[in-house]
Amino acid sequence: MSRYIFVTGGVVSSLGKGVSAASLGALLQSRGYSVHVRKFDPYLNVDPGTMSPLQHGEVYVTNDGFETDLDLGYYERFLGVHLSRNDSCSGGRIYWEVLNAERRGDYLGATVQMIPHVSNKIKEHISIPTNTDFVICEIGGTVGDIEQKIFLESIRQYANDVGRRNVMFVHLALAPYLEQSGELKTKPTQMSVRRLLENGIQADMLFVRSPRMLTNEERAKIGMFCNLPAKNVITSINVDNIYKIPLVYDEQDVFNIMAQHFGLPEAAGDMSKFKKIEHYLNNDLPTCTIGVVGKYFDVADAYKSLNEALFHAAVQNNVHLKIKKIDAEKFTPEECSDVDGILIPGGFGARGVEGKISAVKYARENNVPFMGICLGMQTAVIEFMRNVVGDENANSTEFAKNCTPVINIMNDCDSENMGGTLRLGAYPCVIKSGTLAEQIYGTTNISERHRHRYEVDIKYKDELEKNGMIISGMSPDGKLPEIVEIPSHKFFIAGQFHPEFQSNPYDGHPMFNAFVSAAKRK
């Protein structure tokens, strides 16, 4: 039987519950335990797929094609596990399933209520088998939110269902520091834990987000008011890199607290992979500047996986990384004069597309290492068709109706319905021998995750290739271009997929590793 750890948060949002949950999993893995992680978000959207990156951050995509919250990216990167549609569950999805069950008559005419029907549905999702020693469930939102209450009630019930010693409640709260008085205030933490207790949940361990380490006196005070031992009050200190957090927790004996709760033997863990990253961060290394030409920079998490993948590649190449944010809507070539590489990420809609096309042109003409992702590949093809092949009318039907449609809907989607079917999740790609793509991946068969609606039209393949842009990766049926490159260029490659979703800090990702390596050489 799996044991369960529920991670909740209070006082304010964005305290880092996802990273904390992933770090707990890392500590368990370091002692030889298998771990699975799930995210429960109380908001009423059925999934994050239609949510704006300017409000919610990026949409993360699993191998099985489910659009999820970005925290699943933390889980996969930290823990090296592949998650699925079973591991991201919103309030909207729960209510949708309950109401559909009612319409089918599954409840045999009973009055449908929050308890037991909604709470039981949440517990069904919690208990989907994982065949792991531990399941860590992060509960999104902040204690006190109206929409979160039913999730707190469900995990309270679940602890009774499976036995209190098989469940641990970990709460993350804030202790703000008031500079004017020079004091760390613990009252918000106390009130947050008390609010959690009003929902019938006693925290077993408390992570206190703080700009400095808590003193023994502060831990004792918090423990007394929050009804738990002082040693179970852990400082979740601000750090300059999230991969230091497992080390911070390990130094405070977090695993031993979990071991004591669950009746496990105390044990030292192998934290070498996190110490390697810490060593890299502390080293004096040359800096590589990557210009990211995007349009969602108003929210830091809009390019979360992309930024992480670039960092992972920098670790592998032993260089420090500077990401220069270049607004595609205001792009000028001068902005790229000081970068070592240019990357164009994915996106939807026409806003900023012409700036991205201009950035491709700059990279191609000035032999600057270039990498394109999804829309970045599409803009690379459009730019090449316009400025090398000579078709000034080349465009995507996403942006123009009367054009040479080098980018078009090729998967039977309705172009007028932006809520239509996307190509989502992992798809195979066959790589052409002797290409840069084969050199990067070291194989001719790969699988990468997708999230897009428009494709490069295969009928323009011959025209592109006779002018110097080759299609080096294709879908197995030969219909959909997956990778393009320019062999005469120093480093120019773009993929229709999102390789950032399969990067991790310990190995990086082949395409990002090669791109940063080329930028380092420049």
Q: How far apart are the first and last CA of the chain?
A: 53
**DSSP characters over 157-177:** HHHHHH-GGGEEEEEEEE--E
Lookup: tokens for 41: 């978000």
User: Which of 488, 491, 482 lies closest to 468 in space, CA to CA?
Assistant: 488
For 196, other C-beta atoms within 10 Å of its C-beta total 24
User: Which of 20, 58, 70, 72 lies closest to 238 in space, CA to CA?
Assistant: 20
Lookup: tokens for 71: 């925290």
Contact in structure between 343 and 362 (CB atoms under 8 Å) = no
Backbone angles phi, psi at 368, to 5 degrees: -85, 130
Lookup: tokens for 520: 């380092």
Which of 335, 398, 500, 509 is labelled catalytic? 500
482 assigned to active site: no
> Can you tell me which residue has the tokens 């707990």?
24
Which of 261, 312, 498, 509 is labelled catalytic? 498
3-state secondary structure of 358: helix
Q: Is 264 left (phi over 0), alpha (psi -120 to 50) or beta?
A: beta
Q: How far apart are CA 218 and CA 183, in angstroms?
A: 11
β-bridge pairing 205-210 and 233-237: parallel
Which of 89, 137, 374, 429 is labelled catalytic? 374
Residues 6+ apart with CB under 8 A from 408: 396, 397, 454, 455, 457
498 assigned to active site: yes
User: Which residues are marked as active site?
Assistant: 374, 498, 500
